[in-house]
Protein backbone atom coordinates (compact mmCIF):
# COMPACT_ATOMS: atom_id res chain seq x y z
CA UNK A 1 0.00 0.00 0.00
CA UNK A 2 1.44 3.39 -0.98
CA UNK A 3 1.26 5.95 1.79
CA UNK A 4 -0.71 9.08 1.02
CA UNK A 5 1.25 12.20 2.02
CA UNK A 6 -1.00 13.82 4.61
CA UNK A 7 0.24 15.76 7.60
CA UNK A 8 -0.74 14.74 11.12
CA UNK A 9 -3.01 17.77 11.25
CA UNK A 10 -4.75 16.80 8.00
CA UNK A 11 -5.27 13.23 9.18
CA UNK A 12 -6.73 14.42 12.47
CA UNK A 13 -9.02 16.95 10.78
CA UNK A 14 -10.26 14.29 8.36
CA UNK A 15 -11.27 12.03 11.25
CA UNK A 16 -12.07 14.34 14.15
CA UNK A 17 -14.03 17.12 12.46
CA UNK A 18 -16.83 14.77 11.27
CA UNK A 19 -16.98 13.35 14.83
CA UNK A 20 -17.50 16.88 16.16
CA UNK A 21 -20.12 17.47 13.47
CA UNK A 22 -22.08 14.36 14.49
CA UNK A 23 -22.03 15.57 18.10
CA UNK A 24 -23.28 19.02 17.10
CA UNK A 25 -26.15 17.47 15.16
CA UNK A 26 -26.96 15.16 18.08
CA UNK A 27 -27.09 18.15 20.42
CA UNK A 28 -29.18 20.24 18.01
CA UNK A 29 -31.71 17.40 17.66
CA UNK A 30 -32.21 17.42 21.42
CA UNK A 31 -31.27 13.74 21.66
CA UNK A 32 -29.01 14.39 24.66
CA UNK A 33 -27.86 17.43 26.61
CA UNK A 34 -24.56 19.17 26.06
CA UNK A 35 -23.35 18.00 29.46
CA UNK A 36 -24.30 14.38 28.78
CA UNK A 37 -22.77 14.27 25.28
CA UNK A 38 -19.46 15.63 26.56
CA UNK A 39 -19.49 13.41 29.67
CA UNK A 40 -20.29 10.32 27.61
CA UNK A 41 -17.19 10.67 25.46
CA UNK A 42 -14.95 11.68 28.37
CA UNK A 43 -15.94 8.83 30.65
CA UNK A 44 -16.83 6.28 27.97
CA UNK A 45 -13.74 6.75 25.77
CA UNK A 46 -11.24 8.52 28.00
CA UNK A 47 -11.10 11.61 25.80
CA UNK A 48 -9.59 14.72 27.44
CA UNK A 49 -12.68 16.80 26.62
CA UNK A 50 -16.07 16.10 25.09
CA UNK A 51 -16.78 16.92 21.43
CA UNK A 52 -18.83 20.05 22.04
CA UNK A 53 -16.18 21.54 24.28
CA UNK A 54 -13.53 20.47 21.74
CA UNK A 55 -15.39 22.33 18.97
CA UNK A 56 -15.32 25.50 21.08
CA UNK A 57 -11.64 25.07 21.92
CA UNK A 58 -10.68 24.61 18.27
CA UNK A 59 -12.93 27.50 17.29
CA UNK A 60 -16.40 27.19 15.78
CA UNK A 61 -15.38 29.07 12.64
CA UNK A 62 -12.33 26.87 12.14
CA UNK A 63 -14.42 23.73 12.62
CA UNK A 64 -17.02 25.03 10.14
CA UNK A 65 -14.38 25.94 7.58
CA UNK A 66 -12.62 22.58 7.94
CA UNK A 67 -15.88 20.69 7.49
CA UNK A 68 -16.84 22.84 4.49
CA UNK A 69 -13.52 21.94 2.86
CA UNK A 70 -14.06 18.25 3.60
CA UNK A 71 -17.58 18.40 2.19
CA UNK A 72 -16.35 20.10 -0.97
CA UNK A 73 -13.75 17.34 -1.41
CA UNK A 74 -15.94 14.32 -0.58
CA UNK A 75 -19.55 15.29 -1.21
CA UNK A 76 -20.40 13.21 1.85
CA UNK A 77 -23.48 14.71 3.52
CA UNK A 78 -22.01 13.74 6.90
CA UNK A 79 -19.27 16.32 6.23
CA UNK A 80 -21.70 19.15 5.53
CA UNK A 81 -21.36 21.55 8.48
CA UNK A 82 -24.20 21.11 10.97
CA UNK A 83 -26.91 23.78 10.58
CA UNK A 84 -26.37 24.75 14.23
CA UNK A 85 -22.69 25.30 13.52
CA UNK A 86 -23.47 27.45 10.48
CA UNK A 87 -25.92 29.58 12.46
CA UNK A 88 -23.52 30.05 15.37
CA UNK A 89 -20.71 31.13 13.04
CA UNK A 90 -23.08 33.50 11.20
CA UNK A 91 -23.98 35.09 14.54
CA UNK A 92 -20.32 35.47 15.45
CA UNK A 93 -20.77 33.14 18.44
CA UNK A 94 -17.71 31.49 19.93
CA UNK A 95 -19.52 28.99 22.13
CA UNK A 96 -22.68 26.93 22.38
CA UNK A 97 -25.41 27.85 24.81
CA UNK A 98 -25.32 26.51 28.35
CA UNK A 99 -28.41 24.40 27.64
CA UNK A 100 -28.12 21.10 29.49
CA UNK A 101 -25.99 22.52 32.30
CA UNK A 102 -26.39 20.58 35.53
CA UNK A 103 -25.37 23.53 37.70
CA UNK A 104 -28.00 23.98 40.39
CA UNK A 105 -29.96 20.90 39.26
CA UNK A 106 -31.26 18.63 41.98
CA UNK A 107 -29.52 15.29 42.32
CA UNK A 108 -31.66 12.34 41.25
CA UNK A 109 -33.49 10.58 44.07
CA UNK A 110 -34.63 7.02 44.59
CA UNK A 111 -38.34 6.79 43.79
CA UNK A 112 -38.24 3.00 44.17
CA UNK A 113 -36.46 1.22 47.00
CA UNK A 114 -33.50 -0.78 45.70
CA UNK A 115 -32.10 -3.27 48.22
CA UNK A 116 -31.51 -6.47 46.26
CA UNK A 117 -30.33 -6.60 42.65
CA UNK A 118 -30.51 -9.46 40.16
CA UNK A 119 -28.06 -9.99 37.29
CA UNK A 120 -28.69 -12.43 34.46
CA UNK A 121 -25.53 -13.66 32.79
CA UNK A 122 -22.10 -14.93 33.76
CA UNK A 123 -19.84 -13.48 31.07
CA UNK A 124 -17.23 -10.77 31.52
CA UNK A 125 -19.72 -7.91 31.46
CA UNK A 126 -22.22 -9.66 33.75
CA UNK A 127 -19.48 -10.57 36.25
CA UNK A 128 -18.27 -6.97 36.27
CA UNK A 129 -21.79 -5.69 36.92
CA UNK A 130 -22.23 -8.17 39.79
CA UNK A 131 -18.98 -6.87 41.28
CA UNK A 132 -20.08 -3.23 40.91
CA UNK A 133 -23.35 -3.79 42.76
CA UNK A 134 -21.82 -5.94 45.50
CA UNK A 135 -19.04 -3.39 46.11
CA UNK A 136 -21.77 -0.74 46.22
CA UNK A 137 -23.37 -2.50 49.18
CA UNK A 138 -26.19 -4.31 47.39
CA UNK A 139 -27.09 -7.97 47.82
CA UNK A 140 -26.85 -9.57 44.38
CA UNK A 141 -28.58 -12.65 43.00
CA UNK A 142 -26.90 -13.67 39.77
CA UNK A 143 -28.22 -16.32 37.42
CA UNK A 144 -26.24 -18.60 35.11
CA UNK A 145 -26.86 -21.82 33.23
CA UNK A 146 -24.49 -24.07 35.21
CA UNK A 147 -22.81 -24.21 38.59
CA UNK A 148 -19.49 -24.06 36.81
CA UNK A 149 -20.41 -20.69 35.29
CA UNK A 150 -21.62 -19.41 38.66
CA UNK A 151 -18.34 -20.46 40.25
CA UNK A 152 -16.51 -18.64 37.47
CA UNK A 153 -18.20 -15.38 38.47
CA UNK A 154 -17.03 -15.74 42.08
CA UNK A 155 -13.53 -16.67 40.94
CA UNK A 156 -13.34 -13.65 38.65
CA UNK A 157 -14.55 -11.24 41.33
CA UNK A 158 -12.18 -12.76 43.87
CA UNK A 159 -9.25 -12.23 41.49
CA UNK A 160 -10.33 -8.65 40.86
CA UNK A 161 -10.59 -7.90 44.58
CA UNK A 162 -7.25 -9.56 45.30
CA UNK A 163 -5.59 -7.31 42.73
CA UNK A 164 -7.21 -4.26 44.36
CA UNK A 165 -5.95 -5.42 47.77
CA UNK A 166 -2.44 -5.87 46.37
CA UNK A 167 -2.55 -2.26 45.14
CA UNK A 168 -3.72 -1.04 48.53
CA UNK A 169 -7.11 -0.01 47.17
CA UNK A 170 -9.21 -2.60 49.01
CA UNK A 171 -9.09 -4.62 52.22
CA UNK A 172 -9.51 -8.27 53.15
CA UNK A 173 -12.50 -7.28 55.30
CA UNK A 174 -14.07 -5.50 52.36
CA UNK A 175 -13.47 -8.52 50.15
CA UNK A 176 -15.25 -10.80 52.64
CA UNK A 177 -18.21 -8.41 52.78
CA UNK A 178 -18.49 -8.26 48.98
CA UNK A 179 -18.35 -12.03 48.54
CA UNK A 180 -20.96 -12.47 51.31
CA UNK A 181 -23.40 -10.39 49.28
CA UNK A 182 -23.32 -12.80 46.32
CA UNK A 183 -25.92 -15.50 45.73
CA UNK A 184 -25.66 -17.62 42.60
CA UNK A 185 -28.60 -19.50 41.07
CA UNK A 186 -29.17 -21.67 38.02
CA UNK A 187 -32.86 -20.84 37.80
CA UNK A 188 -34.44 -17.47 37.05
CA UNK A 189 -37.07 -18.14 39.72
CA UNK A 190 -34.45 -16.99 42.25
CA UNK A 191 -35.10 -13.44 41.02
CA UNK A 192 -38.67 -13.38 42.34
CA UNK A 193 -37.97 -10.90 45.14
CA UNK A 194 -35.27 -8.61 43.71
CA UNK A 195 -35.95 -4.90 43.28
CA UNK A 196 -34.06 -4.52 40.01
CA UNK A 197 -32.73 -6.93 37.39
CA UNK A 198 -29.94 -6.14 34.93
CA UNK A 199 -29.61 -8.57 32.03
CA UNK A 200 -26.22 -9.00 30.39
CA UNK A 201 -26.71 -11.97 28.07
CA UNK A 202 -26.08 -12.47 24.34
CA UNK A 203 -26.74 -9.55 21.97
CA UNK A 204 -29.57 -11.41 20.28
CA UNK A 205 -32.99 -9.77 20.25
CA UNK A 206 -34.95 -13.05 20.27
CA UNK A 207 -32.97 -14.29 23.27
CA UNK A 208 -33.47 -11.00 25.11
CA UNK A 209 -37.20 -10.73 24.45
CA UNK A 210 -37.70 -14.30 25.69
CA UNK A 211 -35.81 -13.37 28.84
CA UNK A 212 -37.84 -10.20 29.43
CA UNK A 213 -41.10 -12.09 29.05
CA UNK A 214 -39.84 -14.56 31.65
CA UNK A 215 -38.65 -11.79 34.00
CA UNK A 216 -42.07 -10.19 33.69
CA UNK A 217 -43.61 -13.45 34.90
CA UNK A 218 -41.11 -14.05 37.69
CA UNK A 219 -40.29 -10.70 39.27
CA UNK A 220 -42.52 -8.89 41.73
CA UNK A 221 -44.72 -5.94 40.73
CA UNK A 222 -42.69 -2.73 40.69
CA UNK A 223 -39.36 -4.41 40.02
CA UNK A 224 -37.25 -2.48 37.50
CA UNK A 225 -36.11 -4.50 34.47
CA UNK A 226 -32.90 -3.19 32.89
CA UNK A 227 -30.80 -4.25 29.91
CA UNK A 228 -27.15 -3.46 29.32
CA UNK A 229 -27.49 -3.88 25.55
CA UNK A 230 -25.24 -1.64 23.49
CA UNK A 231 -27.15 -1.86 20.23
CA UNK A 232 -30.57 -3.55 20.39
CA UNK A 233 -33.94 -1.74 20.71
CA UNK A 234 -34.94 -1.53 24.36
CA UNK A 235 -38.53 -0.81 23.34
CA UNK A 236 -38.77 -4.31 21.88
CA UNK A 237 -37.56 -5.82 25.16
CA UNK A 238 -40.19 -3.71 26.94
CA UNK A 239 -42.90 -4.87 24.52
CA UNK A 240 -42.30 -8.45 25.67
CA UNK A 241 -43.54 -7.48 29.15
CA UNK A 242 -46.77 -6.26 30.70
CA UNK A 243 -44.82 -3.42 32.37
CA UNK A 244 -43.04 -1.40 29.68
CA UNK A 245 -42.97 1.55 32.07
CA UNK A 246 -40.54 -0.43 34.26
CA UNK A 247 -38.05 -1.27 31.48
CA UNK A 248 -34.92 0.84 31.00
CA UNK A 249 -31.41 0.62 29.57
CA UNK A 250 -28.35 0.60 31.84
CA UNK A 251 -25.48 0.40 29.36
CA UNK A 252 -22.35 -0.28 31.40
CA UNK A 253 -18.94 -0.08 29.74
CA UNK A 254 -16.32 -2.80 29.92
CA UNK A 255 -14.67 -3.39 32.34
CA UNK A 256 -17.67 -2.38 34.46
CA UNK A 257 -15.77 -2.10 37.78
CA UNK A 258 -13.33 0.38 36.21
CA UNK A 259 -15.35 2.36 33.66
CA UNK A 260 -17.38 5.13 35.26
CA UNK A 261 -19.93 5.70 32.50
CA UNK A 262 -23.45 4.26 32.37
CA UNK A 263 -25.78 5.32 29.56
CA UNK A 264 -29.30 5.42 31.03
CA UNK A 265 -31.62 4.81 28.10
CA UNK A 266 -35.34 5.49 28.27
CA UNK A 267 -38.04 4.44 25.85
CA UNK A 268 -41.17 6.49 25.23
CA UNK A 269 -42.92 4.35 27.84
CA UNK A 270 -40.29 4.33 30.60
CA UNK A 271 -41.76 5.93 33.72
CA UNK A 272 -40.08 9.10 34.99
CA UNK A 273 -39.64 7.61 38.45
CA UNK A 274 -37.89 4.55 36.98
CA UNK A 275 -35.54 6.84 35.07
CA UNK A 276 -34.76 8.94 38.16
CA UNK A 277 -34.29 5.87 40.35
CA UNK A 278 -31.85 4.39 37.83
CA UNK A 279 -29.83 7.59 37.70
CA UNK A 280 -29.82 7.78 41.51
CA UNK A 281 -28.62 4.17 41.63
CA UNK A 282 -25.75 4.98 39.25
CA UNK A 283 -24.72 7.87 41.50
CA UNK A 284 -24.86 5.60 44.55
CA UNK A 285 -22.51 3.20 42.74
CA UNK A 286 -20.05 6.00 41.97
CA UNK A 287 -20.93 5.96 38.27
CA UNK A 288 -21.53 8.87 35.89
CA UNK A 289 -24.99 8.49 34.36
CA UNK A 290 -25.84 10.15 31.04
CA UNK A 291 -29.39 10.21 29.70
CA UNK A 292 -30.49 9.46 26.15
CA UNK A 293 -33.28 7.92 24.11
CA UNK A 294 -33.75 4.49 22.60
CA UNK A 295 -32.03 4.47 19.24
CA UNK A 296 -29.05 2.67 17.73
CA UNK A 297 -25.69 3.54 19.25
CA UNK A 298 -27.05 5.71 22.06
CA UNK A 299 -24.46 8.49 22.58
CA UNK A 300 -21.04 6.85 22.68
CA UNK A 301 -21.32 4.26 19.92
CA UNK A 302 -23.18 6.66 17.62
CA UNK A 303 -20.24 9.07 17.84
CA UNK A 304 -17.35 6.64 18.20
CA UNK A 305 -17.92 4.04 15.50
CA UNK A 306 -18.40 6.36 12.50
CA UNK A 307 -15.02 7.88 13.45
CA UNK A 308 -13.45 4.40 13.57
CA UNK A 309 -15.10 3.52 10.26
CA UNK A 310 -13.73 6.73 8.72
CA UNK A 311 -10.25 5.78 9.93
CA UNK A 312 -10.49 2.48 8.06
CA UNK A 313 -11.61 4.30 4.91
CA UNK A 314 -8.67 6.68 5.25
CA UNK A 315 -6.30 3.73 5.59
CA UNK A 316 -7.80 2.28 2.40
CA UNK A 317 -6.64 5.41 0.54
CA UNK A 318 -3.05 4.58 1.45
CA UNK A 319 -2.40 6.15 4.85
CA UNK A 320 -0.57 3.64 7.03
CA UNK A 321 -2.10 2.35 10.24
CA UNK A 322 0.60 3.60 12.57
CA UNK A 323 0.61 7.02 10.92
CA UNK A 324 -3.12 7.38 11.64
CA UNK A 325 -2.79 6.04 15.20
CA UNK A 326 0.08 8.38 16.01
CA UNK A 327 -1.56 11.45 14.46
CA UNK A 328 -4.77 11.07 16.46
CA UNK A 329 -2.97 10.43 19.74
CA UNK A 330 -0.59 13.37 19.26
CA UNK A 331 -3.01 15.90 17.80
CA UNK A 332 -6.37 15.07 19.44
CA UNK A 333 -4.85 13.54 22.61
CA UNK A 334 -7.09 10.49 22.31
CA UNK A 335 -5.79 7.68 24.56
CA UNK A 336 -5.65 5.13 21.72
CA UNK A 337 -5.35 5.28 17.97
CA UNK A 338 -8.41 4.11 16.03
CA UNK A 339 -6.87 0.82 14.89
CA UNK A 340 -5.60 0.03 18.36
CA UNK A 341 -9.12 0.62 19.68
CA UNK A 342 -10.77 -1.42 16.93
CA UNK A 343 -8.60 -4.40 17.85
CA UNK A 344 -9.47 -4.02 21.54
CA UNK A 345 -13.21 -3.73 20.92
CA UNK A 346 -13.21 -6.57 18.39
CA UNK A 347 -13.64 -5.99 14.67
CA UNK A 348 -16.68 -8.26 14.56
CA UNK A 349 -18.34 -6.17 17.28
CA UNK A 350 -17.37 -2.98 15.45
CA UNK A 351 -18.85 -4.28 12.20
CA UNK A 352 -22.12 -5.26 13.89
CA UNK A 353 -22.48 -1.82 15.50
CA UNK A 354 -21.63 -0.01 12.27
CA UNK A 355 -24.28 -2.04 10.45
CA UNK A 356 -26.84 -1.07 13.12
CA UNK A 357 -25.96 2.61 12.70
CA UNK A 358 -26.20 2.36 8.92
CA UNK A 359 -29.63 0.72 9.21
CA UNK A 360 -30.86 3.27 11.77
CA UNK A 361 -29.63 6.50 10.17
CA UNK A 362 -29.54 5.42 6.50
CA UNK A 363 -26.52 7.60 5.65
CA UNK A 364 -24.31 6.19 2.89
CA UNK A 365 -21.34 7.52 4.86
CA UNK A 366 -22.22 5.10 7.68
CA UNK A 367 -21.91 2.02 5.46
CA UNK A 368 -19.23 -0.28 6.91
CA UNK A 369 -15.83 0.18 5.27
CA UNK A 370 -15.11 -2.72 2.87
CA UNK A 371 -11.84 -3.43 4.66
CA UNK A 372 -13.67 -3.85 7.98
CA UNK A 373 -15.90 -6.47 6.39
CA UNK A 374 -12.83 -8.13 4.89
CA UNK A 375 -10.84 -8.45 8.13
CA UNK A 376 -13.89 -9.90 9.88
CA UNK A 377 -14.44 -12.40 7.06
CA UNK A 378 -10.79 -13.43 7.42
CA UNK A 379 -11.22 -14.00 11.16
CA UNK A 380 -8.94 -11.10 12.07
CA UNK A 381 -11.10 -9.97 14.95
CA UNK A 382 -8.45 -8.18 16.99
CA UNK A 383 -6.65 -8.97 20.21
CA UNK A 384 -8.99 -11.85 21.05
CA UNK A 385 -7.80 -13.75 17.95
CA UNK A 386 -4.20 -12.44 18.17
CA UNK A 387 -4.65 -10.70 14.81
CA UNK A 388 -6.71 -7.79 13.63
CA UNK A 389 -5.47 -4.62 12.01
CA UNK A 390 -2.31 -5.32 14.02
CA UNK A 391 -0.61 -8.64 14.74
CA UNK A 392 -0.50 -9.73 18.41
CA UNK A 393 0.97 -13.21 17.98
Choose, from 79, 112, 251, 315, the residue flagged as catalytic: 251
Directed axis angle between helix 300-316 and helix 321-331, to 10°? 130
Average pLDDT over residues 100-127: 87
pLDDT category of residue 104 using cuts at 50, 70 and 90: low
Residue 177 has pLDDT above 90, yes or no: yes
Enumerate the β-bridge partners of residue 224.
Answer: 196
- pLDDT reported for residue 231: 81
What's the rounded Cα separation, in Å, for the pair 25 and 86? 11
- pLDDT reported for residue 98: 57
pLDDT category of residue 45 using cuts at 50, 70 and 90: very high
Is residue 246 part of the annotated active site? The answer reads no
Choose, from 301, 325, 347, 350, the residue flagged as catalytic: 301
Is residue 127 part of the annotated active site? The answer reads no
Question: What domains can be seen in the chain, in order of their start residue?
Answer: 8-99+299-385 (1.10.1040.50), 116-293 (3.40.50.720)
Determine the distance from the C-alpha atom of residue 42 to the mean position of all C-alpha atoms in its chain, rounded to a whole number: 11
Sheet of strand 247-252, all strands in order from the earlier edge strand to the far edge: 182-185, 139-143, 116-120, 196-199, 224-227, 247-252, 261-266, 288-293
Helices (H), the chain: 8-29, 34-45, 51-58, 60-74, 83-91, 124-135, 147-166, 172-180, 205-218, 234-239, 272-284, 300-316, 321-331, 338-345, 347-361, 370-377
Choose, from 131, 263, 276, 356, the residue flagged as catalytic: 263
pLDDT above 70 as % of the chain: 97
Choose, from 33, 230, 235, 347, the residue flagged as catalytic: 230
Is residue 242 part of the annotated active site? The answer reads no
Residue 184 has pLDDT above 70, yes or no: yes
Is residue 301 part of the annotated active site? The answer reads yes
Cα Dmax for the chain: 64
**What number of other Cβ atoms are within 10 A of residue 187's Cβ?**
9
What's the rounded Cα separation, in Å, for the pair 364 and 168? 51
Q: By CB neighbour count within 10 A (0-12 exposed, 13-18 middle, 19+ buried), where does 257 fall?
A: middle
Average pLDDT over residues 251-269: 96
Average pLDDT over residues 109-124: 96
Amino acid sequence: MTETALSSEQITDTLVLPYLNHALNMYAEGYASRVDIDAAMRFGCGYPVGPLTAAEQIGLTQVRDGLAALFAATGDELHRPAPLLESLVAEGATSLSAQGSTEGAAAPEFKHEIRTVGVVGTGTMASGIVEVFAKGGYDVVYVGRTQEKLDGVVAGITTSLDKAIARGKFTEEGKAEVLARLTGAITREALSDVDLVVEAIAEDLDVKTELFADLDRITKPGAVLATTTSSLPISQCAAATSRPESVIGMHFFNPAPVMKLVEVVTTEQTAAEVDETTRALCAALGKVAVSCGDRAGFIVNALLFPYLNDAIKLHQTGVELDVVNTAVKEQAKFPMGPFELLDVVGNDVSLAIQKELHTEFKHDGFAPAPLLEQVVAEGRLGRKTKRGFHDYA
